[in-house]
Amino acid sequence: MGSEVADRRHHFTLQQVCPPDKVNVFVVSMTVARGGVLSIEGLVDRLRTRLGGAPDLVARVEQTIASALGEDAAEALALGFDEDVAKASLRVYSAAKVSAEMEEEG
């Protein structure tokens, strides 16, 4: 394949994974291999299409993506990745489980 897949590593504050009562939060994780056909911008376009009936949600997702990409957003949006690798590695975790593990680690 020619691309390397990074180890799965995440950094959270306890506040990020401890939502208010009656709110379910999930951590979605995937590994990404560069060099595929789908760009981050293409993925964002897919999200816009799927969320088209909810403009407030589209705006919130775009703001979150821009914040995550930071100053290098324009360059990052053009990066291509292997969609099959990302899909195969997709994992969903309950934030409650993540926060319990963080509290154990102290």
pLDDT at 16: 78
pLDDT at 3: 46
H or E, element range at 38: strand 34-39
Q: Tokens in use for 48?
A: 């816009």
Lowest mean pLDDT among 17-31, 33-47, 91-105: 91-105
Here the contacts of 87-91 (C-beta below 8 Å, separation 24 or greater) are 87/30, 89/5, 89/8, 89/29, 89/30, 89/31, 90/28, 90/29, 90/30, 91/8, 91/28, 91/29, 91/30
- Please tell me the total count of domains within the chain: 2
pLDDT at 2: 45
Q: Please say if the pLDDT value at position 41 is more than 90.
A: yes
Tell me how far the alpha carbon of residue 71 is from its chain's centroid: 18
Q: Please say if the pLDDT value at position 49 is more than 90.
A: yes
Q: Tokens in use for 100?
A: 């319990």
Residue 1 included in any domain: no
In whole angstroms, give the CA distance from residue 89 to residue 94: 17
Helices (H), the chain: 40-50, 55-69, 73-77, 83-89, 95-105
Q: How does pLDDT run across 70-103, given as a tens digit for each residue? A: 898 889 899 999 999 889 989 898 887 776 665 5
> What number of residues does the chain have?
106
Q: Are residues 24 and 36 in the same domain?
A: no
Average pLDDT, the chain: 82
pLDDT at 39: 92
pLDDT at 104: 59
Q: Which structural domain, as residue segments, surrounds residue 24?
A: 11-30+90-106
Q: Are residues 42 and 76 in the same domain?
A: yes
Residue 44 included in any domain: yes
pLDDT at 101: 64
